[in-house]
Structure 1
Amino acid sequence: MRFVSLAFPAICALSLAACDKAAPPAPPSESAAEVPPAIPVVGPERPILAFGDSLLAGYGLEDGESYPDRLEQALRARGVNAKIANAGVSGDTTAAGLQRLNFTLKSQPVKPQLAIVSLGGNDMLRSLPPAETRANLDRMLQRLKQEGIPVVLLGMLAAPNLGKDYAAQFNPIYPQLAEKYGAVLVPFFLQPVIDKPDLMQGDHVHPTAIGIDAIVAATVDDVEDALPKT
């Protein structure tokens, strides 16, 4: 929220009174001089599909603060003409994601040049069998490969309270499927914010807007490198 200073009218009056004695323009501050010029966005639009759960949907955040929104801004700041479609649905499990994948792909106005997939966290939080999570993700990655859409797979790790046996079955899912389908792997999507309470919302599950920026900074290179070269 922007606040307007109550001193603004007084400042205006003083400025008008000083018109006859205009001071020479002040030299640019050192910080302003150090700001690099903006990189122009060039080339054709690069459509990207962000497909996942609440971590992509922007749960608890304001408009424009979700991971796809901030990632698009970061890519465009690098000169990449990215346009990210946010197909994140809060609460989705891998089974729900698999069920809606075909519809989501068909509803895109143009074929995505890249898909960012973030699913499995809700499976883990509900202690669903890791074998089911693996099978659902496998079918999704297979479908995207059939469409010729490269993937950035955002990995998840099992919560410690689920035990070593569960972790031993769940944690290898992402690296093994990434290798199988040639996807770019982000080993643990929440790594930049884990154990940092100031970057997490009160539920201790979803990042704050500042946390999202930290995640974007940690993953934008992976996404940019995964885009097909033009």
Structure 2
Amino acid sequence: MLKNFIVYGFTLAFLQLLIACGPAPDEQQAVREDVAAAPADSDGDQADAADETEFLVVAFGDSLYAGYGLDQKQGFAPELQAALTASGQDVRVHNAGVSGDTTAAGLRRMDFVLDSLPRKPDLVILGLGGNDMLRSLKPSETRANMDAMVKKLKERDIPVLLTGMLAPPNLGKEFTDEFNVIYPALARKYNVALYPFFMDGVLGNPELFLPDGLHPTAEGIDVIVGKITPQVAELLES
């Protein structure tokens, strides 16, 4: 996976992607307030469906999970649900992605999201940290927040799949060395599953981005879903 990352030539374009995927700071706060003001599943029918399905999966992340710039049915969560359903699994994938979220923001809302669900999830797919990287926040802070979130999930006896991020070389060797070990280190510490790089197969392919050249198209999401679905399915059956 790391070799793929090098081939992509992970440069400033990825930072531009993160900038475009996240709202401005004042908009981020508004988004979080909206999340806090509404139930995790505002559609009652969807909540009922989640309660009735065999498996409930929560996709907890930032704009890359939220389906920024795409039709509601084309984002990561609905496409993953469709792929799992097509493979014969009775599953509901709850979209808990919030554009602009840092790991600190994710940590603040995690309990609310989990407590708002109709039942305990069978799996939480956890992917945050890209916006921390964009803001050049200390990797030690990112790691501490991610650690706290994984710990919360483990204390609730909820299985976890971490989806990792990789820092671009232009941020400097010291930063990238410290940031890039966060996800594999936490996976080892808590004995949870790891998908090393969420954007694997998409970054570096302009045809998989929207016309602005920054956001993954529906086809780009399909590539991501196609790569991660087998691991998710295996975890649900384990």
Q: Which residue of 2 aligns with 1:154?
A: 163
The number of residues matched between the two structures is: 187
TM-score for the superposition, normalised by structure 1? 0.78
Match of 1:127, as an amino acid?
S
Residue 45 of structure 1: how far off its partner (Å): 2.0
Match of 2:84 among 75, 94, 97: 75
Tell me, in whole angstroms, the C-alpha distance in 2 between the residues paired with 1:104 and 1:87.
7
| Superposed displacement of residue 184, structure 1 | 1.1
- Counterpart for residue 56 of structure 2: 47
Q: Paired residue for 2:133? A: 124
Q: Counterparts of 2:185 and 2:220 in 1: how far apart (Å)?
A: 27
CA deviation profile, 1:34-54 (whole Å, cap 9, x unmatched): xxxxxxxxx952111111100
> Pick from 85, 91, 98: which aligns with 2:100?
91
* Structure ranking higher on relative contact order (CA contacts 8 Å, 6+ apart): 2
Aligned-pair CA distance for 1:203:
5.4
Query: C-alpha deviations, 1:74-120, integer Å up to 9, x for none?
Result: 00001001101101000000000000001111000111000000100
**Map of 1:28-47 to 2, 5 A cutoff?**
44-47=53-56
> Once the two structures are superposed, what CA deviation does each residue of 1:122-167 show, in whole Å capped at 9, x if it has no partner?
0011111100000000000000000110111010000222121110
Equivalence map 1:11-30=2 (5 Å)? none
Q: Partner residue of 2:172?
A: 163
Structure with higher helix content: 2
CA contact (8 A) 2:130 2:165 kept: yes
* Equivalent-residue separation in structure 2 for 1:202 and 1:163 (angstroms): 30
1:174-185 to 2 correspondences below 5 Å: 174-185=183-194
Secondary structure at 1:123 match in 2: helix
Distance (Å, rounded) in 2 between the aligned partners of 1:59 and 1:175: 26
Write out per-residue CA displacement over residues 12-52 of structure 1, whole angstroms, 9 at most, x where no aligned residue. xxxxxxxxxxxxxxxxxxxxxxxxxxxxxxx9521111111
What is the CA–CA distance in structure 1 between the aligned matches of 2:211 and 2:176, rounded to whole Å?
25
Q: TM-score, normalised by structure 2?
A: 0.76
Structure 2: 5+ residue stretches without partners: 1-51
Residue of structure 2 in register with 1:191 after alignment: 200
CA 1:96 to 1:202, structure 2 compared with 1: closer, same or farther past 3 Å?
farther
In structure 1, distance between residues paired with 2:214 and 2:93 = 23
8 Å contact kept, 2:208–2:219: yes
SS of residue in 1 equivalent to 2:72: coil
CA contact (8 A) 1:113 1:228 kept: no
Q: For residues 113 and 150 of structure 1, what CA distance do their matches in structure 2 show?
A: 7
1:216 aligns to what?
225
Structure 1 alignment gaps of length 5 or more? 1-42
RMSD of aligned Cα (Å): 1.4
